[in-house]
Amino acid sequence: MRYIAKCITIVALLFSASLTFGQNVEFIRKNFNDDKGLKNALRDIDEGDSYQEISDYQTALNAYLKAQAFNPNNADLNYKIGKCYWMMSDPDSSIPYFTKAIELDPVNSGFIYGVLGQAYQATYKFDEAINAYQKARARLTADEKKSKGNDLAKHIDECNNGKRFLNDSVRVFIDNMGSAINSKYTDYAPIISADQSMLIFTSTRENPYNKKAFDDGEFDENLWVSYRNGTTWSQAEDMGEPINTKENDATIGLSADGQKLFTFYGKNGGDIKYSEKKGNAWTKPELFTAINTPNGHENSASFSFDGKTIYFSSDNIEKVTNYGEHDIFVCKMNEKGKWGKPENIGPTINTDKDEIGVFMHPDGRTLIFASNGHNTMGGYDIFKTTLQDDGTWSEPENMGYPINTPGDETFLVMDGSGTHAYYASTRKGGYGGLDIYMITFLGPEKKLNMTTENNLIAVMANPIQQEVVMEKSVEIKTARLTVVKGIVSEAYTDPAKYLDAQIEITDNATGQVLFTNQANSVTGKFLLPLPSGKNYGIAVKKEGYLFHSENFDVPQTTDYQEIYLDIKLMPMEKDAKIVLKNVFFDTNKSTLKPISYTELDKLVEILTKNPKMNIEIGGHTDNVGSKAYNQKLSQDRAEAVVNYLISKNIASSRLTFKGYAFDEPIDTNDTPEGRAQNRRVEFKILSNE
């Protein structure tokens, strides 16, 4: 069974029983004088039935309509035609046929009322749908009320939700991603890097791994990838081996930097595999044993920003009771780098039905998922919840219309800024089946006032459909996240020599290493998601080079921002020097702050590994104050660093210090930002032999 079939199910009320009709015009000889016409009509119905069994609804419909031309007053045939239109995602066309089936056979109309209610619901005729559901419920037998009564009641609730959501719409653009991404086949489950530079998705289009189509004309699922270049997306490409195989392979989750990938592998009931990008190639996906279960179906997973927590959905975790079908679970890495046991995320999020399509935003707080158990307006809707300061989750919030519809919306992912999202939906004007759409949140203004970036991204895929809903403004806050990205290369090389340096991110307040990352070995590119609320130290390290450090103090209230770094590592040679950007002093004093120790310990590590290295620590100031004052301050600060190194058993004979006052500025002294750059401590190699 294909992955999508296990995640998105047709509502149980539909087409789950055969129909027996009474007072209508049966296809029998006594009702017609045209024996040849009757014979042809019966042949057409048999042909339609055979195509319907293999889910070829268009061919089945063509056959049924021929029989309908001969006898338009048969309840069973009208129902079958309505069913074909419904299954072809054309509920508007199905309504007249379902209605006529009821008129022709009101005695046996209970089941048809339920089907008609779904068609009305799908076309936003919520009052008519409620009326049809109520009539269906009134006609249930005692046994049927036990099996179908709750479903009908839920559909009525969905319609009431739909009426409310339509009157309280969110202001968004929803744009089809265009032919570069979408095809006539099913395209869904997009995943993106935090900066929207890469999009990977699942498609059932023809592929080289399984060239035989299923009865519905679709193929096995495989992963496809597209890259953004400026304002356009490249033509989607098959990701190839080893990511795609002869089995079902589908998208599950992607790390914020786009270098770690979760995939769904369709064998043994479905498992999650893990792969990393090394240079331009992906490693062979391996089973991610921490979250896979022998008898369970795991259909989505998402990394936390630091890669130390995984959120995923499963229908069966050993020794853990699910609240419903698929529940969302969390699995955390311990201090030794080992994954712990999965834990159910709890009843605030999980219901007695299905929670799937989980996505944790890089801000570390916003969890997005799909559910058919919360207050939906039909099928699966997209919800979001926030991790609060006390560790609990907020009540899940339906993301509203038009993001959600009476159909199924699943697997939504959001970019780092929180202003754009991507998901799959069935909307008019698409290329076929599920298509991938981009959502642009417009914010709280009642008037349409898009930013330049919004305008650019809204047209990047030559969208074929654009929907703007402006009845009511809702505040979509920018994510509290800083994305630091850039390139690591060797200094003084032309052309650039890119380096797969290790990047260590530290909480300067505690000295704790939050997570590590690595630049790509071919491109040197890296991306670091830094949620607001910490003072971060970043150290870029590679054997044979001096480390490079950066400091980012990101207050809790900081909105989304992107920072680009062009980092050039200095080989460990004579006269190479670096700025120690995470060394701090009290204002106008030479006392080292404790948050400096993590950075200085990296310097200790270099000196320990290179026992013949002799260095100079240079102190520098801005030009505020007298030359004599700044000379002494800069020298005292340099000496304080040397004293710390000596306390860590580095021989004093290897260390010198010097104060330069404001004689060697690296930026202007005319602005606060420039003066801050000039106040620094530098490390310089005097000899390394």
Residue of 327, 317, 316 lying closest to 354 (CA atoms)? 327
**Distance (Å, rounded) from C-alpha 248 to C-alpha 126?**
37
Looking only at the bridges linking them, the beta strands covering 561-569 and 481-490 are parallel
**Distance (Å, rounded) from C-alpha 352 to C-alpha 323?**
5
pLDDT tens-digit map of 14-61 = 444 444 445 789 999 999 999 999 999 999 999 999 999 998 999 999
The DSSP output letter for 31 is G
pTM listed for this prediction: 0.84
Is the torsion defined by CA of 277, 278, 280, 286 positive or negative?
A: negative
- Which residues face 83 on adjacent strands? none
Alpha helices in 413-514 (DSSP H): 452-458
pLDDT tens-digit map of 589-619 = 999 999 999 999 999 999 999 999 999 999 9
Going across the sheet that includes 512-518, the strands are: 512-518, 502-507, 534-541, 548-554
Q: Are residues 258 and 355 in the same domain?
A: yes
CATH number of the domain at 159, please. Answer: 1.25.40.10
Quick check: is 449 in a domain? no
Is residue 658 within 8 A of residue 606, CB to CB? The reply is no
Domain boundary among 571, 591, 606: 571
Quick check: is 371 in a domain? yes
Looking only at the bridges linking them, the beta strands covering 534-541 and 548-554 are antiparallel
Quick check: is 178 in a domain? no
Q: Which residue has the tokens 């949140």?
A: 441
Confidence at residue 96, expressed as pLDDT on a 0 to 100 scale: 97
- Lowest mean pLDDT of 316-330, 622-636, 641-655, name the range: 316-330
Q: Which residue has the tokens 């017609």?
A: 32
pLDDT tens-digit map of 214-254 = 877 889 999 999 999 888 999 999 999 999 998 899 999 99
Quick check: is 641 in a domain? yes
Alpha helices in 387-489 (DSSP H): 452-458
Whether residue 335 is predicted with pLDDT greater than 60 in this model: the reply is yes
Confidence at residue 448, expressed as pLDDT on a 0 to 100 scale: 39
Report the phi/psi class of residue 253: left, alpha or beta, with left for phi > 0 and alpha for psi in -120 to 50: beta
Confidence at residue 478, expressed as pLDDT on a 0 to 100 scale: 67
Q: Are residues 239 and 387 in the same domain?
A: yes
Q: Are residues 236 and 249 in the same domain?
A: yes
CA torsion 424-426-430-434 (nearest 10°) is 50
Q: Which amino acid is at 101?
A: A
Confidence at residue 21, expressed as pLDDT on a 0 to 100 scale: 45
- Which residues face 489 on adjacent strands? 498, 568
Confidence at residue 263, expressed as pLDDT on a 0 to 100 scale: 93
Q: Are residues 412 and 392 in the same domain?
A: yes
Max alpha carbon distance in the chain (Å)? 118
Q: Are residues 150 and 258 in the same domain?
A: no
Mean per-residue pLDDT over the chain, rounded = 89
Quick check: is 459 in a domain? no
Please give the residue range of the domain that contains residue 133: 3-24+73-166
Confidence at residue 2, expressed as pLDDT on a 0 to 100 scale: 54
Ordered DSSP codes for 96-161: HHHHHHHHH-GGG-HHHHHHHHHHHHHTT-HHHHHHHHHHHHHT--HHHHHHHHHHHHHHHHHHHH
What is the pLDDT averaged over residues 381-393? 94
Q: Are residues 281 and 395 in the same domain?
A: yes
Q: Are residues 208 and 297 in the same domain?
A: yes
Split into its structural domains, the chain has a count of: 4
Confidence at residue 459, expressed as pLDDT on a 0 to 100 scale: 36
* Structural tokens at position 675: 């003066």
**Distance (Å, rounded) from C-alpha 418 to C-alpha 409?**
18
Q: Are residues 537 and 557 in the same domain?
A: yes
Quick check: is 11 in a domain? yes
Whether residue 667 is predicted with pLDDT greater than 90 in this model: the reply is yes
Q: Are residues 280 and 368 in the same domain?
A: yes
pLDDT tens-digit map of 460-511 = 444 434 444 444 444 445 688 999 999 999 999 989 999 999 999 999 999 9
Query: Which residues, 6+ apart, have CB-to-CB distance to 336 below 8 Å?
Result: none
The DSSP output letter for 392 is P
Distance of CA 230 to the CA centre of its chain: 21
pLDDT band at 443; cut points 50, 70, 90: low
* Structural tokens at position 154: 């839920």
Whether residue 569 is predicted with pLDDT greater than 80 in this model: the reply is yes
Percentages helix, strand, coil for the chain, rounded to the nearest 5? 25, 30, 45
Q: What are phi and psi of 188, to 5 degrees?
A: -160, -175
CATH number of the domain at 653, please. Answer: 3.30.1330.60
Q: Are residues 159 and 211 in the same domain?
A: no
Q: Which amino acid is at 359?
A: F
Residue of 303, 206, 203 lying closest to 251 (CA atoms)? 203
Of residues 689 and 513, which shows the higher confidence score?
513
pLDDT band at 6; cut points 50, 70, 90: very low
Domain boundary among 137, 166, 195: 166
Can you tell me whether residue 35 is helix, strand or coil?
helix
pLDDT tens-digit map of 161-213 = 999 999 998 989 999 999 999 999 999 999 999 999 999 999 999 988 887 88
Q: What's the CA angle centered on 608, arms 602 and 613, to 5 degrees?
A: 100
Q: Which residue has the tokens 């004007």?
A: 429
pLDDT band at 294; cut points 50, 70, 90: confident
Is residue 309 within 8 A of residue 330, CB to CB? The reply is yes
Is residue 635 within 8 A of residue 643, CB to CB? The reply is no
Q: Are residues 91 and 202 in the same domain?
A: no
**Distance (Å, rounded) from C-alpha 141 to C-alpha 463?**
49
CATH number of the domain at 507, please. Answer: 2.60.40.10
Size (the chain), residues:
689
Of residues 554 and 433, which shows the higher confidence score?
554
Report the phi/psi class of residue 581: left, alpha or beta, with left for phi > 0 and alpha for psi in -120 to 50: alpha
Q: What's the CA angle centered on 385, arms 470 and 335, to 5 degrees?
A: 145
Q: Are residues 517 and 588 in the same domain?
A: no
Between the alpha carbon of residue 651 and those of residues 124, 435, 640, the distances in Å are 78, 66, 15
Q: Which residue has the tokens 């935003």?
A: 361
Query: Which residues, 6+ apart, have CB-to-CB distance to 388 below 8 Å?
Result: 394
Is residue 488 within 8 A of residue 526, CB to CB? The reply is yes
Quick check: is 33 in a domain? no
Domain boundary among 571, 593, 621: 571
Quick check: is 648 in a domain? yes
